[in-house]
Amino acid sequence: MPVRRVVVSAHNGVHARPVAELVRLAQSHGSPITLRTADGTSVDLSSVLAVMDLAIAPGDAVVIETRESDAADRVLAQLAEVLDPRG
Q: What is the pLDDT of residues 44-79, one digit of tens each?
A: 999 999 999 999 999 999 999 999 999 999 999 999
Q: Domain of 71: which CATH number? A: 3.30.1340.10
Better-scored residue on pLDDT, 10 or 14: 14
3-state secondary structure of 43: strand
Among residues 7, 9, 13, 15, the one annotated as catalytic is 15
Q: Please say whether the beta carbons of 85 and 9 come within 8 A.
A: yes
Structural domain that includes position 42: 3-83
pLDDT of residue 39: 96
What order do you get walking across the sheet with 3-7 strand by strand?
3-7, 61-66, 33-37, 42-44
Give the number of domains in the chain.
Answer: 1
For CA atoms 76, 27, 25, 56, give the dihedral sign.
negative
pLDDT of residue 40: 96
Annotated active-site residue 11? The verdict is no
